[in-house]
Structure 1
Amino acid sequence: MDELTRVREWGTDERGPSTRARSAARARLTTAIEDETRGTAPGVRRPSRRIVVRGALAGLTAAAAGAAVVVTRGADHGTGDGRAPRLDTVSATQVLHRAADRTRAAGSTLPVPRDDQYFYTRTFIRRTPVKGGRTRTWTDESWMSVDGSKPSLREEYGKVHHDPPLGPHEVVWPPTVYAKLQKMPTDPDRLLARFRGSEPDDPHRDLRVFFEGCMLMMGPRVMPPGLQAAAFEMLSKLPRIRLDRGATDVAGRKVVGVSYPESSFTFLFDRTTYDYMGLRTEGSVPKKVHGEWKQTGFYYETRTLRELQVVDRIGQHR
């Protein structure tokens, strides 16, 4: 099934994106997939910068490595008797299952957002050049309209952007409206079947599943009970997922990374609690050289959503 057809039909009662929007989104997605399978050097694909994806799927993907990781557990996380931490070797599948268990146990204290409200976010960003150099950091604050019907104020890398409301035929994907998120399956097998679509011979379908899971975690949204856990368990069923033993969080501390071949996104989890810590991406800066665009300045970038609130207006904090 066409990705944009799934976007239009999955859990919405609204009209899908316009023909122009579908064409533009299809072009972005096709370009991303072609980049993934072209075999170019890691980092040449630029990850999406937008928190809210208008029209349909957007974003890019590249590679991280690892097959197992050593996880430290303290007295409060497995031994219970005050002994020194022990080391366990775990698989990517086990990490995702433990992350699912953690999110179920933690629950959520956020209220169910109304469509006319805003998500206030405070995001920490850390960017490190691949070949060494100065690490840059930002703390961005944004107020994003829950259903896209109001103007939003979005800060990226310290620069403020005033986003207009969505057009009448535009949609936010993945959904940010709570009622639409409630329609998504919380059974990991059903969720996987939805994301994979109806083309079993598609060689890129599992890459798209991983990409969809990343998009679901990236944007500001309040997850209905069980959805985030189902997403982690869905990803655990992908046969090629792997661990990144060299992953670090925004503070430079070692964490557990889970990635997929040919994807620039890496999920980051706490090494002890398995709390979800954010995403790492690989990217580059386009530069015109002798009339041709080339990718330069390859970097690793880590984003962590440090604060999420549901508020009534731009500028409000609870």
Structure 2
Amino acid sequence: MDDLTCVKELEADTPPLTAEARAAARTRLMTAIGRESRGGVALVLPRRTVFRVAVAATVAAAATGTVVVASTDGGNPRSPRMTTLSAAQVLHKAADRTRSSGAGLPVPRNDQYFYTKTYITRTPLKGGRTRTWTDESWMSVDGSRPSRRQEYGKIHNDPPLGEHEVQWPPNEYAKLQKWPTDPDELLKWLGRGRIEVVEPSGPKGGSAAGSASDPDMMVFTEACLLMQGPRVMPPGLQAAAFEALAKLPRITVDEDEVDALGRHGVGVSYPHLTFTFVFDRETYDYLGIRLKGSNDKLVDGELRQTDRYFEMRSRQEVGVVDRIGRRP
């Protein structure tokens, strides 16, 4: 395949560049080459290498809502090429990964518990010490038994769900089994009947105004809340949730996110919401949720948001056990 054919394929789904964008891409390329040639030592690159760098810079300058990843050319692992992925493509890859990795998950009994271990890091926006927690939780599969959960290191012993108590999205496995695994049908379930969006911006959360006029925002938020529940989901549900989100036209890619364990990933977010789904850059495993939050304090008689921070919540271990205190 010649270079011109490669250019056409790479730019097939990319909007035409403006003169300013082309100039900016060319400047970045020449600057990088210039750095390598300082000190009187010229950098000599093969023609195909220069071509690939130029195309990568051009695509990066033109595309929005995409992430650049490395793939192989012609099945040869020594010949990488750069490919841009949209947020929808990232979610579809995450759905495929979920189906392959979740095939062996157990079907829990009602008398068992969902076990989760979650790593949390919280870093102040204005700089300062990063705080870390390792939380473990044992949640009753059907809600009929007491549960134990940790939030930021504090243990909470929760009583069984009352007869008239309703959780949304539900945590009970039997209720989640009734949810559709067709992405189009799941879109109708996510966000239904909601007037406002509740963001997971801290232990008590917060509300986002204007969500009634943006149903897609509600869908994204409900999917976030669903993923914060038990990760041992009925077969196909988590994959369907990712594919449902892929249908939202305004989702965007955040190119480099780092989870609480230091793993580099790619994020998918929605405008004006403060949280992001994070996936492994190579395997597309779901790593966790990143959010921007704050603490509410009473200042001069008014409740104000202070101490803003970034937080990353990464699930490291999930499973099903027979009693509280036992681990998989």
Common fold: TM-score over 0.5: yes
Asked if 1:289 corresponds to 2:299, the answer is: yes
TM-score normalized with structure 1 length: 0.73
What CA RMSD, in Å, does the superposition of the two structures yield over aligned residues? 2.2
Distance 1:67 1:140 in 2: 33
Give the 3 Å change call, closer, same or farther, for CA 302–198 of structure 1 in structure 2: closer
Distance 1:171 1:198 in 2: 14
State the shift of 1:70 in Å: 1.9
SS in structure 1 of the partner of residue 250 of structure 2 = coil
Higher share of residues assigned strand: 2
Asked if 1:298 corresponds to 2:293, the answer is: no
For 2:317, the equivalent position in structure 1 comes to 307
Which of 128, 136, 142 is matched with 2:137 structurally?
Answer: 142
Structure 1 residue runs of 4 or more that deviate by more than 4 Å after TM superposition: 196-199
SS in structure 1 of the partner of residue 187 of structure 2 = helix
Asked if 1:188 corresponds to 2:198, the answer is: no
State the shift of 1:84 in Å: 5.5
Give the 3 Å change call, closer, same or farther, for CA 139–167 of structure 1 in structure 2: same
| Structure 1 contact 128–299 (Cα < 8 Å) conserved | yes
Which of 155, 158, 174 is matched with 1:160 structurally?
Answer: 155
Equivalent positions of 1:261-280 (< 5 A) are: 261-280=271-290
The count of residues paired between Structure 1 and Structure 2 equals: 249
Equivalent positions of 1:186-265 (< 5 A) are: 186-195=181-190, 197=192, 202-265=212-275
**Matched AA of 2:180:** P
| Structure 1 contact 268–279 (Cα < 8 Å) conserved | yes
Distance 1:215 1:92 in 2: 19
Larger Rg: 2
Equivalent positions of 1:4-15 (< 5 A) are: none
Q: Which has the higher contact order (CA 8 A, sep 6+)?
A: 1
Distance 1:84 1:275 in 2: 25
What do residues 107-131 of structure 1 show as CA deviations (whole Å, max 9, x unaligned)? 3323211122111111111111112
Give the 3 Å change call, closer, same or farther, for CA 317–253 of structure 1 in structure 2: closer
Distance 1:292 1:176 in 2: 35
Q: Which consecutive residues of structure 1, in runs of 5 or more, have no partner in the other structure?
A: 1-65
For 1:109, the equivalent position in structure 2 comes to 104
For 1:179, the equivalent position in structure 2 comes to 174
SS in structure 1 of the partner of residue 123 of structure 2 = strand
Asked if 1:90 corresponds to 2:88, the answer is: no
Which of 110, 117, 125 is matched with 1:130 structurally?
Answer: 125
**Matched AA of 2:319:** Q
Distance 2:122 2:79 in 1: 34
Distance 2:231 2:280 in 1: 21
Q: Which consecutive residues of structure 2, in runs of 5 or more, have no partner in the other structure?
A: 1-63, 195-210
Give the 3 Å change call, closer, same or farther, for CA 96–186 of structure 1 in structure 2: same
| Structure 1 contact 72–271 (Cα < 8 Å) conserved | no
| Structure 2 contact 143–172 (Cα < 8 Å) conserved | no
Identical amino acids, percent of aligned pairs: 63
SS in structure 2 of the partner of residue 245 of structure 1 = strand
TM-score normalized with structure 2 length: 0.71
For 1:11, the equivalent position in structure 2 comes to none
SS in structure 1 of the partner of residue 327 of structure 2 = coil
Distance 1:239 1:291 in 2: 41
| Structure 1 contact 99–274 (Cα < 8 Å) conserved | yes
Equivalent positions of 1:20-59 (< 5 A) are: none
SS in structure 2 of the partner of residue 98 of structure 1 = helix
Which of 66, 69, 76 is matched with 1:68 structurally?
Answer: 66
